[in-house]
Structures are given as structure tokens and as C-alpha cells.
Structure 1
């Protein structure tokens, strides 16, 4: 059960985002890399080339992702919604289309399209339906005109039937936001947060406060942020069946790899048949090989747990620091903390109105 935490509380950064991707450890996934696609532009007869930074899922034919950002600042991060009613046709547990394709729908959108326009057409056209349950944080990372604030980000969901149902976040300073595998809960909602969201939000607020007080540099801050993503409150019995462990995932920010005898066996088979060329943390670039998954039950091989961790920091000049940490190689071998890190830095094009 993934978790995304975002904050606008650090005075030096317009946005800080943290993410744990919880998934079957063996699910084929590329390394993060820059890749290009073409977006249709209403203002031009020629499509516009868009540069996207993300990892890509190699299991589904869409080669989608769960988190990414473009050179122009289109940002998106997705968490699955934990559906429990397997007979609800309107909100299926698994859809005919990949949820990762919802992320790339925004990343590969016309760079000139406003976030509000994208969310409206996705809801009105029914494009949020036909996939498994999800919540998508998306928007343009831009400095708001005439203010030391960020343009708001939307939280799009397959449960939205009208554009006015879409929550907006990150448009004000001094806030922390958390999203996992349930409906986003706003400050004014009289509902309890999942324990992992409460723990993560509290830890992030305290970490930012400490970092400002101690004037931590960016590397020191990132180390502290990774410690939040490593917070493990899962039971010590990692051999429990998935059915037993799934309800417990809402309590732990980090999920250690776990699974019953069959999943343990699949993990060992993957290690024994290890491919040397995949000894690090997966293929990069356009090496998008693999066996596309057409099963509506989804990928369910090997142990389940936190597979990747991502930090995204954007300062007030529009400089982006993107670090993705792989914890497992494609053969099911654990990677020591930091050895699987991939780091990228760049400046968002058109960050503020003064640059346009």
C-alpha cells in the first residue's frame, strides 16, 4: 500500500514530495530515466515533444508509471485505491486499462493545458473509469504569480463524477499532505486518517521543523526524509500470507517484503534463475522489454513490499532534485540502502511568470 507525502512547509522549497511504491518485488520496472513522447497541441498542427522523467512499469502494455515529472513541470504521483467490493462493476479492483496510464495521460498532455482543464475533461469524458481504484495528485509545478506560493495541485480519483468534487492542495505555505490507498481526507473532514498517514504527516512536519532549525543542507535533509520512508511498524512475521498482511499495511509507512510459502518459493526461484544483465535495479532508457500483463487479476508473483522510494524537492528558483531509491533488483535480491539510488537535477522550464 503506497504512500505519498507532500509539504509546503520548508522556506527554501516550494514543494517537497516523498513516495514509497509498495508492489510485488518482482514486478518488472525500469530505472528512472528521461524519455520523450508527442502531445497534441490545439494551437499547432504539429504535435509537441514532451520530455518526461520517470521509471516505467514493464508489466502492462501501456508502460505507465506511478510518479513522474516533465521538463515543463507537469508533476504526478498516483496511489491505488484499495477496493474491497469485488462485485462492483463501476469501481473494479483491476481495470482493463493500467492505472499507470492515468499518470502518463497528464505527463504527456499538451504542455499548455491547465490542470483544471485536464481534470475536467478526464472526469467529463469518463477517462477516470475503467481502471482500478486510484487517486492521482497532479498539476503544474509553477510559482504562483506575484506570490511566494505554488500553483495548486489537484487530486483526481476514479470516484469523481464531477469536476467540483476534485480536491486541491499545496497552494498555501506551511502545510503537510498525505495520501495512501483510501480517499483523500481534507483537514475539515471528520474522518480518522490511516495510521501510516498520520505517522508520516507528523514525522514530515517535525523533520522540516528540525531541518530549518538546524539549517540542514540538501543532502542532510534528504537523509532525514528517507528515514521517514523507512519507518517500519509492520509485524516481525514476514512469512504471513498476503491475505493476512494486507489489512496491516495501513499501519506502516515502510512495508518489508512478506508473503506465504508459495510467494517465498517464487522469490527463491527468481534468485536461482537470476539474469546477470539485470543484477542492479532494472533496465533503463527505452529497453522496455517484458511480458505485458493482460490478466485482470494483476501481477501477483513473489513477495510484496516497498519496492522503490522517491524524493522530489523543488526550490524557489524552480530547481528540481529527483532521487529514486531501488531497494530490490529484478531478480529479488535486496540492494543496500543508497546503492540503488538514481539522482537527477534540472530546472523547470517556465517556472515563474517573470520567465515567460
Structure 2
């Protein structure tokens, strides 16, 4: 169960975003790289899911300053065609729908198009935090929208990020549904404390980044001896970080992956934007094995438009755990300002 934390509390940064991607650790996923959206031509920086044909993502930022991060949630009814448990289309395509939207389309227009055209239907449950980081003036950024399958009208779409000194959190539930999960309460408190310490001690960017990764590493998952996989899934709302877990069958799957290197080709660095054929036979393999926090991402956006995008991989191509920091990838670039 992923978590996204967003804050405007640091005076040097217009926005800071933290994200844990919780997934089957063998699910084939690229590292962050620059790629070109086929329809719009926009340059986008993100990791990409190589399992689904859409090559979607859970978090990305455009060269033009557009930003989006997605969390999913599991629908409860198999008999509700409006909100399917597992959609025909990938949730990750919702992120690229915003990042690849026409340049002239503003956030409000995008929200209306998503809901009125029913683009949010036909996919599994999701919440999409999206916005335009280049739109900043008077020490503020344009508020971010949170679009979900449950937003039937644009007026129902929450907005965050327009206030300074705030922290917001989202996991695998609907943003407007109280009460907050324990992992969200803990994550927000840890982030508030981390920002306060960073400001008081005037941390460098590297020091701040490591402090933020420590927030994402907070592990309070109540593991018990003999816990089943179902019991493990039920406990995921308790902890910011999800240590990899597998039952006895999953342990065999992980050992097989390590031994045979089945995941290697899927994790190879992408060299182009050629289409990837979806291979149904891979579904059973990548939906087995260990489940836990697979990737961690920190996004820093300062008032001058400079973006630092840092992703930490916790597992290698063969299902082996990576020492903290050894699987880091970092990109830095700047986006233009627009005060309109």
C-alpha cells in the first residue's frame, strides 16, 4: 500500500514530495529516465511500469513543470462496472494523461476532461495528485488537484498545496474519507519533524534528502510469527515503510527468481520508446513472491524552479535486496516560471 506525502512547510522549497511504491518486488519496472510522450511530444521524467502495455508510472514530472503522483485503492465490489477492482486500462496511464496533456490545457480543464469524458472509469481504484509547478507567484504555487474514480464532478475534487506550512498525506484510500490511516498520521508527523529540524539546522540538500528518506524508512508494521499473506495485507495501513513479506510459497518464488534471473531482462535500462507487448504469462510470476516497498522517491522543487528528483531502488533485477543508497538515481533540472 503506497504512501505519498506532500509539504509546503520548508521555506526554501515551493513543494516537497515523498513517495513509497509498495509492490511485488519482482514487478518489472524501469529506473527514472527522460522519455517523450507520443501524442504531445512532452519530455517526461519518470520510472515506468514495464509490465503493462501503457508503460505507465506512479510518479513523474514533465520538463514543463507538470507533476503527478498516484496511489491506488482496492474497490470492494466485483459487481460495480463503474468502479472495477481490476481495470482494463492501467492506473499508471492516469499519471501520463496529465503529464502528456496538450500544452494549452490547464489543470482545471484537465480535471473537467477527465471526469466529463469518463477517463477515470474502466481502471482500478486510484487517486491522482496532479498540478503545474511552473505556476507560482506571491510565494505560492497553484494548488494541486486530487482526482479519483470517486470524483463524479469537478466540484468534488479536493485541492491541496495552496497553503504554506502544511503537510498532506495520501495512501490506498480516498483522500476525503476519514479517518486517516495510522501510516498517514505517522508519516505526516515525521515529515513535519524532519522539516523543522532541517530548517533549524540549515541542512544542505543532501542532508535534507537523507532525512526525508528516513521518514520513508519508518517501519512499524506489526509482523507476527506465522502471519499469513492475507493478515499481512490487512496490516499495511499501519506502517510508512513495508518490509518485504512472503509466505512459504512466495519464498520459493523469490528463490527461483534469484536463481534463474527471470526478472533481469524486464529491468534492463530502456533505450527507446518502442511499444512493449503485454505478456499474460508473466502475470502469475510477477504477482507472486515478496511484496513490500520496492522504490522510494524524493522530489524537491525550489522557488527558482530547480527540481531534484531522486529515486532509491531497494531491490535489484534478480530479487536481491540492495543496500540503502546503492540503488539511487538522481536527476536535476529547472522549469520555467509562469505567473499567469
TM-score, reference length from structure 1: 0.90
Q: Look up the SS of the partner of 1:98 in the other structure.
A: coil
Equivalent in the alignment of 2:143: 152
Cα distance, 1:291–1:253 mapped onto 2, change above 3 Å: farther
Kept in 2, the 8 Å contact 1:32–1:284? The answer is no
Shift of 1:352: 3.3
Q: Map of 1:204-353 to 2, 5 A cutoff?
A: 204-237=191-224, 240-274=227-261, 282-286=268-272, 292-294=278-280, 299-348=286-335, 350-353=336-339
In the aligned structure 2, how far is the partner of 1:240 from the partner of 1:294?
30
Q: Map of 1:1-356 to 2, 5 A cutoff?
A: 1-39=1-39, 48-145=40-137, 147-185=138-176, 191-237=178-224, 240-274=227-261, 282-286=268-272, 292-294=278-280, 299-348=286-335, 350-353=336-339
Identify which range, 232-241 or 78-87, moves more after superposition. Answer: 232-241
Q: Look up the SS of the partner of 1:184 in the other structure.
A: coil
Kept in 1, the 8 Å contact 2:314–2:324? The answer is yes
Shift of 1:262: 1.4
- Per-residue CA deviations over 1:116-142 (Å, capped at 9, x if unaligned) read 100111000100000000000011112
Kept in 2, the 8 Å contact 1:64–1:99? The answer is yes
In the aligned structure 2, how far is the partner of 1:96 from the partner of 1:276?
24
RMSD of Structure 2 on Structure 1 (CA): 2.2
Q: Look up the SS of the partner of 2:196 in the other structure.
A: helix
Kept in 2, the 8 Å contact 1:60–1:294? The answer is no
Is there any run of 5+ residues in structure 2 with no aligned partner, and where? Answer: none
Kept in 2, the 8 Å contact 1:28–1:290? The answer is no
Is there any run of 5+ residues in structure 1 with no aligned partner, and where? Answer: 40-47
Q: Look up the SS of the partner of 2:213 in the other structure.
A: helix
Equivalent in the alignment of 1:42: none
Kept in 2, the 8 Å contact 1:278–1:329? The answer is no
In the aligned structure 2, how far is the partner of 1:290 from the partner of 1:124?
30
Kept in 2, the 8 Å contact 1:238–1:257? The answer is no
Kept in 1, the 8 Å contact 2:263–2:317? The answer is no
Shift of 1:144: 2.7
In the aligned structure 2, how far is the partner of 1:351 from the partner of 1:112?
15
Cα distance, 1:135–1:293 mapped onto 2, change above 3 Å: farther
In the aligned structure 2, how far is the partner of 1:292 from the partner of 1:115?
31
Identify which range, 242-251 or 131-140, moves more after superposition. Answer: 242-251
Q: Look up the SS of the partner of 1:205 in the other structure.
A: helix
Kept in 2, the 8 Å contact 1:240–1:259? The answer is no
Q: Give the paired residue count.
A: 338
Kept in 2, the 8 Å contact 1:3–1:178? The answer is yes
Q: Look up the SS of the partner of 2:146 in the other structure.
A: strand
Shift of 1:330: 2.1
In the aligned structure 1, how far is the partner of 2:23 from the partner of 2:156?
29
Cα distance, 1:273–1:9 mapped onto 2, change above 3 Å: same
